[in-house]
Each structure stands twice: as structure tokens, then as C-alpha cells.
Amino acid sequence: MQNADQNELDKFSQLAHRWWDPESEFKPLHQINPLRLDWIDSHASIAGKKVLDIGCGGGILSESMAVKGAEVTGIDLSSKALAVARLHLMESGSSVEYLEISAEQFAEQSPASFDVVSCMEMLEHVPNPASTIAACAALVKPGGHVFFSTINRNLKAYLLAVIGAEYVLKMLPKGTHDYAKFIKPSELTRWSKSVELEPSELIGLSYNPITQIYSLGRDTSVNYLLHTKKVG
């Protein structure tokens, strides 16, 4: 059984043509991308490395990692999002290999093949996040890096990520997030450790609605990122 929610795929597929519009529903992704890119690079020095971006969507992170000099593969199950990603490559001249395949299927085909695996803003959209995490662990080489980002599950996260972002500030389309799928850092850490991914750094991603600026820091109560290393 495929670890994907068809409603989630349909939701992002319908918006796919707007993925590279920095003023569209994907504006937050454009705004946070330099932060997450530099954070990944600071830990993994991605230039010249084989990097896999799981749940790559329209390719914002994938392409920026390629610009940094990484050899990037991006995988997703939304054919429309991948079509947009490939189209943008023609405009930018960057080099990324995009594949329509699940993380689990790809792990069976290409185990221990990547120096770095990123799985950003994706775990809260799949039925079985532990399965995706296990696939990440299978795909990365021993000693390699795996990066996750997701949303904490608590009242503050519900008020800010759902009510605030979707209904009050209208930064995201209504229905973008399902609170029940949010993941506590303790859960993400436990799932990671169970597949020999050793947590290295947990860091928060915060948004200031006054300045409209995102920043990384200690507050992991809403959005957060986790850096892990594969044992071996």
C-alpha cells in the first residue's frame, strides 16, 4: 500500500502551476528556503554530494541545492508538481533529476545511495510518517545526513499554523494542514532513533507577522527542523 494521501496529492497538484510564483500560496516556501538551505549546507557541506529531496514538489529546495553544487535527485508523487519542477529547470538551466516515485519504493531500488537526504514540510502530509522516516534511513549512506522539518502538535501550533496562517493572515490556503497529522519533536526523534538516525540538532523556525520575517532559533513550539546522522 502506497504511503500517500490522495487528497493531499490533489490539493498540491491543483496549485502546482503557482509553485514558483513568490507571491502565491507558496510564498512561505520561498521565504524560508534560504534559511533551510543554509542550515542544511552548514551541517552537510552539500557541494559535490549526492543529495535526495523527498517530497520535492515544484523543486524550490531541490534546485537551490543544485545551485550550491550538489548532485540532486528530487522525488514526489504529484506528477503536476514534477512537471512544473522540470519546466522551471528549462528556465533556470539548473540540473536536477526528478522522479515520480514514493520514498519507500525508491529505498527498495536505491538503498544507501545518498550522502544527504532532505524531507522538508512533508511528514505532516503522509498517512504513515514513520514509514517515510524509515525510507530516508534506508536511502542515506552510513554516516550520511538526513534532515526533516515539520510542525509540532500542540495548541499554539494549531492556533498559529492552522487558524493564524490559513484563516487570519491567509498566508496558506484553507485546509493546507491537518492538525491530527502534526508531529511532536519527541515522536520524530523516537522514530528516527528506531531506524538508526541519531538526532544531532533540533531547531525552531519562527515567523514574525509584524516584520514578515522568518528566523531559526530555540522556539520549536510550532515549526521545527531536525538534523540526524545515520549510524555507521
Average pLDDT over residues 94-105: 97
- For the stretch 190-219, pLDDT in tens is 999 999 999 999 999 998 888 989 999 999
pTM for this prediction: 0.92
CA dihedral 174, 182, 140, 80 (to 10 degrees): -20
CA angle 106, 109, 113 (to 5 degrees): 80
Question: Mean of the per-residue pLDDT values for the chain?
Answer: 90
User: Which residue range(s) make up the domain with 104?
Assistant: 6-230
User: Domain for residue 31, yes or no?
Assistant: yes
% of residues, the chain, pLDDT over 70: 89
User: Domain for residue 174, yes or no?
Assistant: yes
Residue 212 confidence (pLDDT): 86
Q: What are phi and psi of 175, to 5 degrees?
A: 90, 0
User: Domain for residue 133, yes or no?
Assistant: yes
Residue 82 pLDDT > 90, yes or no?
yes
- For the stretch 126-165, pLDDT in tens is 999 999 999 999 999 999 999 999 999 988 877 876 665 6
Confidence of residue 26 (pLDDT cuts 50, 70, 90): confident
Average pLDDT over residues 168-174: 63
Confidence of residue 11 (pLDDT cuts 50, 70, 90): low
User: Domain for residue 60, yes or no?
Assistant: yes
**CB atoms closer than 10 angstroms to residue 10:** 12
Number of domains in the chain: 1
- Residue 70 to residue 78: CA distance in whole angstroms: 23
Inter-residue long-range contacts of 61-67, CB under 8 Å, 24+ positions, other chains counted: 61/33, 61/36, 61/37, 61/118, 61/120, 62/96, 62/98, 63/88, 63/89, 63/92, 63/94, 63/96, 64/33, 64/34, 64/37, 65/37, 65/40, 65/118, 66/94, 66/95, 66/96, 67/94
User: Domain for residue 1, yes or no?
Assistant: no
User: Domain for residue 148, yes or no?
Assistant: yes
Domain harbouring 149, CATH code: 3.40.50.150
User: Domain for residue 56, yes or no?
Assistant: yes
Q: 3-state SS of the chain: helix, strand, coil percent to 5?
A: 45, 25, 30
Residue 199 confidence (pLDDT): 98
User: Domain for residue 15, yes or no?
Assistant: yes
- Residue 118 to residue 144: CA distance in whole angstroms: 11
- For the stretch 67-80, pLDDT in tens is 999 999 999 999 99
